[in-house]
Amino acid sequence: MKRVFVNKVSKYVGEKVILKGWVYNSRRSGKIGFLTFRDGFGLLQCIVVKNDVGDEKFELFKTLTQESSVIITGEVVKNERAPGGFEILVSDVELIHLSKDYPITPKEHGTDFLMNNRHLWLRSKRQHAILRVRHQIVKAIRDFFDSNDFTLVDSPIFTPNAAEGTSTLFGTDYFGKTAYLAQTGQLYGEASAMAFGRHYNFGPCFRAEKSKTRRHLTEFWMVEPEIAYCDIEEDMQWAEDLLVHIVNEVLEHRLEELKVLDRDVDLLKKTKGPLPRISYTDCIEILQKDGFDIEWGDDFGSPEETHIAEKYDRPVIVHRFPSKIKAFYMKRDPEDEKVVLGMDILAPEGYGEIVGGSERETDIDVLIERIEEEGLNQDDYEWFLDLRRFGSVPHSGFGMGLERVVAWICGLSHIRETTPFARTMGRINP
């Protein structure tokens, strides 16, 4: 007899198989029982008939509780009445472990309670679907860069200095010195791009911002490509191609999961290139015309960002921001010194900024000046300045926040469900 996984049972119709997993739910109607079985690959209805399994096994079945672990033996049959179209006619049930008082019942729960039980919540259908979409997105990202000859070069997590100011960094004791957890791999990415031409890094980032919103985590994953001999226009194109590829891959492989999440797939299907591009200056005009109290030079707040994004049915690229509101390493536009060659991509439906990128400043004097302006210590950036001393070339890159992309694609109301164990301002457990 063969041990099979739930997602493959359709290949074994008429055969007797073994399934190893857990009880998702069980119901009884006299001498026939319905056990919804889960093995991590999917859910499957198992039929336990008293006359088939015998009195002893039927009594055992009656004692099974939610999330007890079981090994089921039975015949795979096709049946329209079963969710998914297939079910198991059980001939034997073996109890591995009896679960007592599983806290998450098949009824409503509050988010705080569920987050306290996150280690168990992961087993539920909805969380399972979200994390499978996340997995698909990660795979799509890696495949995209791999097929375009990018080399994965990891950036360090312990860093001695800040990339963009120190207020948002977590400090740790590093043998008597202060080390910070990386908030971005950006600066190291530039070194890698000069070594490998096309590079990306993909790992966790840490921000100590006291942000308590549905869009913020203190620990999140960011993918950051950096490309040598690349200007801002090409940079936008790379970001667009990556986004479109991610959406296509999820639509191709995870429709079932999107259905579980009740996601409006038609909205996602609109994410096709070319994505609209609009300058910061044009955004300000639109915002002023629509009654927002905003002046050229101000950064967008959340309402402004949402207003711009709502003008489009797909992600929109906003470019050329005032240099004052952007990071020191962004290159100034030679055609207009007041703005930098930076870009953000705003997701539709109010999901906010999912990508931020730029062409990088190559002029070492401008960089030194900007480092001073930001109040940063030049000594910490000498290695970074070396990249402008030895074979400096025009280069660009961007960062894409994985969790925000997952939230948008899944249509979630809060980012905390996009990651297995969310770290937010108020939570570090479980």
- In angstroms, what is the minimal distance from the CB of 277 to RNA? 16
- In angstroms, what is the minimal distance from the CB of 333 to RNA? 19
Closest to RNA by CB, 197 or 203:
203
DSSP letters along 254-290, please? -HHHHHHTT--HHHHHT--SSPPEEEHHHHHHHHHHT
Closest to RNA by CB, 80 or 335:
80
Question: Of the candidates 23, 14, 18, which has an alpha carbon nearest to the alpha carbon of residue 2?
Answer: 18
Binding site for RNA (CB under 7 A): 25, 27-32, 34, 45, 47, 49-51, 65-66, 79, 81-83, 87, 101, 103, 105-113, 115, 168, 184, 207, 209-218, 220, 222, 299, 301-303, 305, 325, 344, 352-356, 399-401, 403-404, 413-415, 426-427
Q: How many CB atoms lie within 10 A of CB 161?
A: 16
- In angstroms, what is the minimal distance from the CB of 422 to RNA? 9
If you ran DSSP here, which 8-state letter would residue 57 be given? H
Phi, psi (rounded to 5 degrees) for 340: -105, 160
- In angstroms, what is the minimal distance from the CB of 399 to RNA? 5
- In angstroms, what is the minimal distance from the CB of 430 to RNA? 13
Closest to RNA by CB, 140 or 318:
318
Long-range contacts, 249-254 (Cβ 8 Å, 24+): 249/136, 249/137, 249/139, 249/140, 249/143, 250/133, 250/136, 250/137, 250/140, 250/409, 253/136, 254/132, 254/133, 254/136
Closest to RNA by CB, 252 or 324:
324
- In angstroms, what is the minimal distance from the CB of 8 to RNA? 20
Kindly state the tokens that stand for 237: 């194109």
Cα–Cα distance measured from residue 127 to residue 273, given in angstroms and rounded to the nearest whole number = 30
What's the 3-state SS for 85-152?
CEEEEEEEEEEEECCCCCCCCCCCCCHHHHHHCHHHHCCCHHHHHHHHHHHHHHHHHHHHHHHCCCEE
- In angstroms, what is the minimal distance from the CB of 149 to RNA? 24
Strand pairing report for 316-319 and 277-279: parallel
- In angstroms, what is the minimal distance from the CB of 390 to RNA? 27
Closest to RNA by CB, 250 or 415:
415
Closest to RNA by CB, 101 or 335:
101
Strand pairing report for 43-49 and 86-97: parallel
Are residues 239 and 345 in contact, defined by beta-carbon separation less than 8 angstroms? yes
- In angstroms, what is the minimal distance from the CB of 175 to RNA? 28
Closest to RNA by CB, 23 or 194:
23
Closest to RNA by CB, 49 or 191:
49
Question: Of the candidates 86, 36, 108, which has an alpha carbon nearest to the alpha carbon of residue 65?
Answer: 36
Kindly state the tokens that stand for 422: 């969310």
